[in-house]
Amino acid sequence: MNRVIVLIACCCLANPAIAGDIGEQQTAGPSPAETRARAFIEGVVSIGFAEFRRRNNTEPLSREARAAILAALPPQGALVPTRAERTKLAALDQVFDLYNRLGAVDVRVVDLKPALVAVHQREILLITRQALSLVSPRELQAIGAHELAHEYFWKDFDTALNANAYERLQELELMCDGLAVMALQSLGIGRSHLINAATKLTRYNERTAARIMTSRQVSLERRVAFIKQVDALLAAGRR
């Protein structure tokens, strides 16, 4: 039971791929969270993603700190990746390198029914085997690009979560989507892979009744629309 509680908590706090009950409440026009997230992304576009990363780069946790976090994870449910899974996971190295986290993020495949991917304590990427089986290497890179973007807002997420500031949490999730699109562009990867990954994980969890309901989430439809908006902003900047 402790294993399920810990991993579900991690994924709920860090994974945007599950559309929550807020989706039914969203209005036709842009929400305040969407408007602020777009304004943030426009600011990043104005200076460039590379410059944003330079200004906001943080040092990875020490090896000792990472070891302590890993030791605190419940051992039950941890899986040994198969050869095919290791090959797919290796695609994440390109994303880790872009975010200056190559060799500083531990990836763990876990046994949990929902299809989830989540960053835990900044430096551990938790991936359920089901999620890993659903996505292609490119789609996995897209998910990783979103999850690593959480690093820039870790304290903001913590503050908003403790204050039950759900609108702020939605804004932060969209900001991570926007940065993920920019990261993918830097790697020569289309934004469609982020949309496809989010769609696959969301629909799987809906079909299997593994849909986690949380008021902090943005609906899949809103996420897709926002991702396309960011892609259009980047395309306009290239003209």
Pair 208, 6: CB distance under 8 Å: no
Given a contact cutoff of 8 angstroms between Cβ atoms, the answer to whether 107 and 1 are in contact is no
Of 26-30, 51-55, 104-108, 120-124, which gets the smallest average pLDDT? 26-30
**What stretches of the chain show up as alpha helix (H) in DSSP?**
2-14, 32-47, 49-56, 63-72, 83-89, 92-98, 129-134, 137-149, 154-162, 166-186, 192-207, 220-238
Beta-ladder partners of 108? 126
Mean pLDDT of 194-202: 97
Residue 205 has pLDDT above 50, yes or no: yes
Contact 219, 226 (CB under 8 A): no
Measure Cα distances from 105 to 35, 48, 131 in Å.
32, 25, 18
- As a whole number, mean pLDDT of residues 131-144 equals 98
- Specify which residues 82 forms β-bridges with: none
pTM for the model stands at: 0.88
For 148-170, what is each residue's pLDDT tens digit? 999 999 999 999 999 999 999 99
Query: What would the pLDDT profile of 175-187 be if each residue is shown by its tens digit?
Result: 999 999 999 999 9
Strand order in the sheet with 106-110: 78-79, 106-110, 124-128, 117-120
Helix 154-162 crosses helix 166-186 at what angle (to 10 degrees)? 160
Question: Cα–Cα distance between 232 and 239 in angstroms, integer?
Answer: 11
User: What are the structural domains of the chain?
Assistant: 2-238 (3.30.2010.10)
Contacts of 227 (CB under 8 A, 6+ apart): 177, 178, 181, 191, 194, 195
